[in-house]
Amino acid sequence: MRISGRTRTYGILGYPVGHSLSPVMQNAAFAQLKFDAAYLPFEVRPEDLRAALDGVRALGIAGVNVTIPHKEAVLAYLDDVDPEAAAIGAVNTVVNRDGRLIGYNTDGAGFLAALKSEARFTPKKRNVLILGAGGAARGIAHTVASAGAASLVIANRTVSHADLMAQGLSHHFPYLKVRTCDLNPAAMEPHLASAHLVIQTTSLGMKPTDPSPLPAKLFRKDHVVCDIVYTQETPLLKAARSRGAKVSGGLGMLIHQGAAAVFLWTGRRPNLNAMKQALVAGIRAKSARKR
Ligand code: ATR
């Protein structure tokens, strides 16, 4: 990478941010496009978020990604928010348009694009079971509902969180059938039986010793099962794959949401393979450091 007086600056705001693979992936995207830009990690404490966005304006940083824990809080400090991001209540991409900061959410579009390319699946008129009711679940559920899903069941450890998320979804999608249940196999079994698509959005599975939230015997060949964890194939995906279900890990979603952000910033479509190669090398280097 060559830095000159004309190089544009991009970055990611998060706390912590040292684990993020976005710098590796987005710099690879820029390099492949021959776009004169650099993408940096910015560790921003929650109490400094407003100042950080003023800094983005003052320094003329051309765009940022936003990650945990700022995706929701950042909306308050932007000049404008895309309607879909506003409805989800979370922003993961900010574009600096002549000093005005505009927020977008590419997580949902990234999820749908990955699902289409990896499992050849679209959620229209399909039944969806989603595990988890946090920020990631809300974004994905909103997108799946927008894409015309027939029904949605939200399974969560704390059912009251799932109930709150269900209320928000029913408000935006009055005709969508939304139900909730506990995150245990017995409660999920009847919903899995009628589901076409299962989406795992909790942190369960990040450690290889985590148990699968659903036993293998409940999966069928015609299930499509996604997990947002991208560091390795989770016990859930292994269980589903052992029964012949189509599975899709979090790597595809990470790449597609990043590519959608690059498109918002540059108007160009980056090469997904170049981004994937950089990510896989980054994940390998990280696990080698841990050993
Ligand atoms: P994110 O933005 O990544 O979705 P989050 O908003 O903190 O993160 O949400 C975390 C989700 O993972 C929640 O659904 C949480 O369940 P609770 O609502 O009961 O807290 C779920 N989660 C986290 N750790 C979990 C665990 N060990 N077992 C089951 N669910 C877990």
pLDDT along the chain (291 residues), means of 10: 93 96 97 97 98 98 96 97 93 97 95 95 98 92 96 98 96 95 98 98 88 96 96 93 96 96 98 97 87 73
Q: How high is the pLDDT of residue 252?
A: 95
Is 71 part of the annotated catalytic residue set?
Answer: yes
Q: Which region, left, alpha or beta, applies to residue 169 given φ > 0 means left and ψ of -120 to 50 means alpha?
A: alpha
In a domain, residue 2? The reply is no
Whether residue 200 contacts residue 211, with contact meaning beta carbons closer than 8 Å, is answered with no
Whether 93 and 71 map to the same domain: the answer is yes
CATH of the domain at 50: 3.40.50.10860
CATH of the domain at 181: 3.40.50.720
Q: How high is the pLDDT of residue 217?
A: 97
Three-point CA angle 210, 216, 221, nearest 5°:
135
User: Which domain covers residue 272, as residue numbers?
Assistant: 8-105+255-290
In a domain, residue 1? The reply is no
In a domain, residue 214? The reply is yes
Whether 141 and 231 map to the same domain: the answer is yes
Whether 170 and 195 map to the same domain: the answer is yes
Based on the structure, what is the number of domains in the chain? 2
Q: Does ligand 1 lie within 6 Å of residue 14's CB atom?
A: no
**By CB neighbour count within 10 A (0-12 exposed, 13-18 middle, 19+ buried), where does 222 fall?**
exposed
Both tokens assigned to 152: 């949605």
Q: Does ligand 1 lie within 6 Å of residue 201's CB atom?
A: yes
Q: How high is the pLDDT of residue 189?
A: 98
What is the spatial distance between Cα 74 and Cα 91, in angstroms, rounded to a whole number? 7
Catalytic residue from among 34, 71, 124, 246:
71
Nearest to 192 by CA among 128, 240, 133, 243: 128
In a domain, residue 262? The reply is yes
CA of 138, closest atom in ligand 1: 4
How long a stretch of residues is the chain? 291
Whether 101 and 112 map to the same domain: the answer is no
Task: List the 127-131 sheet strands across, edge first.
Answer: 177-182, 151-156, 127-131, 197-200, 224-227, 246-248
Backbone angles phi, psi at 174, to 5 degrees: -60, -25
Q: How high is the pLDDT of residue 2?
A: 87
In a domain, residue 22? The reply is yes
In a domain, residue 3? The reply is no
Whether 72 and 119 map to the same domain: the answer is no
Whether 97 and 115 map to the same domain: the answer is no
Whether residue 44 contacts residue 68, with contact meaning beta carbons closer than 8 Å, is answered with no
In a domain, residue 45? The reply is yes
Listed residues 232, 249, 266: the one ending a domain? 249
Ligand 1 center from residue 210 Cα (angstroms): 14
Q: Which residues have a Cβ under 8 Å from the Cβ of 183 and sit 6 or more positions away?
A: 131, 132, 155, 156, 157, 202, 213
Whether 85 and 143 map to the same domain: the answer is no
Whether 96 and 115 map to the same domain: the answer is no
Whether 32 and 54 map to the same domain: the answer is yes
Q: How high is the pLDDT of residue 270?
A: 98
Output the CA–CA distances (angstroms, integers) from residue 233 to 6, 143, 208, 290, in the order listed. Answer: 41, 24, 8, 18
What is the spatial distance between Cα 233 and Cα 251, in angstroms, rounded to a whole number? 10
Both tokens assigned to 183: 């995150």
Whether 92 and 117 map to the same domain: the answer is no
Ligand 1 center from residue 133 Cα (angstroms): 7
Ligand 1 center from residue 68 Cα (angstroms): 13
Mutate to test the pocket of ligand 1, among 15, 203, 207, 234 (most ligand atoms within 8 A of CB): 203
What is the spatial distance between Cα 230 and Cα 250, in angstroms, rounded to a whole number? 4
In a domain, residue 155? The reply is yes
Nearest to 179 by CA among 250, 128, 217: 128
Q: How high is the pLDDT of residue 191?
A: 98
Whether 145 and 236 map to the same domain: the answer is yes
Whether 72 and 93 map to the same domain: the answer is yes
